[in-house]
Amino acid sequence: MPSRKKTSMFFCAFCGCVSSLVVLCVVLATPRWVSSEVRFSRAGSNVTVSLTYGLFRGTCQQFVDAGLQVSKTPFQVADALSSTRSRSLNVSIISVLALALLSSLLSSGFTCTNAVSNPYQTFLGPVGVYTWNSVCGVLILIAMILFPVNVQGNSLSEELAHGCSTSLQTHLGSKHSYGYSYWIMLLILLLNVASLIIIYFYDHASYSKKKEQERPIENAPKDVILF
């Protein structure tokens, strides 16, 4: 059985990993990644299409300068995308987050295993926790970079706006505001870093204690050596 100190520290790391897993599920499920206002010209008037969407679904609403307002319309992101580049990048982001979900699940399993037992294999110990937490953090960073690239580099909002209305003509401008579904990925990074720090302090303290117990005989007191 592991010591009480090891159990408590790995349990704290386990709580961080599970929290990261839960937040990641929220990120994937919620459609509040970005809100965009896209302005177009149409038959002598200007039209503003307001969109709020995530990786899978969203809603759009049209506002005409004359004061006409069209009710919100739900849409599926995959169905509204016609550009191969935008669609491929959206699928890539989903795949990256799915891998991050898997690595977070593995990290939770590794921390739980170490909290209740002393695994024999080295990789099942702190090394495994370091690995999967780092992989999860890197994948989250990649997703946070790829999504704005798709929105602003591939004109994702403009493409989705065209899917909401077929009579739009000249694009006049766009404004984007990233929502909580995007920004709470920073919380996932913080939870992963916190878990790594906890395991690092435990591993460092355990290593220092082990080295102290393995002091060479020349560091022992002279009376002990003479004896």
Residue boundaries of the structural domains of the chain: 4-205
pLDDT at 105 over 70: yes
Q: Which of 137-151, 183-197, 201-215 has the lowest mean pLDDT?
A: 201-215
What per-residue confidence (pLDDT) applies to 62? 84
Note the pTM of the prediction, 2 decimals: 0.84
What per-residue confidence (pLDDT) applies to 211? 55
Half-sphere exposure of 147 (CA within 13 A, CB side): 28
CATH of domain 4-205: 1.20.140.150
| Pure H helices in 73-155 | 77-80, 84-116, 126-148
Tens-place pLDDT, residues 60-94: 988 887 566 677 889 999 888 888 899 999 999 99
At 19, list the tokens.
């929290």
The answer to whether the beta carbons of residues 76 and 67 sit under 8 Å apart is no
H or E, element range at 60: strand 57-64
Residue 225's pLDDT band, with cuts at 50, 70 and 90, is: very low
Higher-confidence residue of 45 and 142: namely 142
Percentage of the chain beyond pLDDT 90 is 46
Tens-place pLDDT, residues 115-129: 888 876 677 888 888
What per-residue confidence (pLDDT) applies to 213? 55
Task: Read off the amino acid at residue 140.
Answer: I
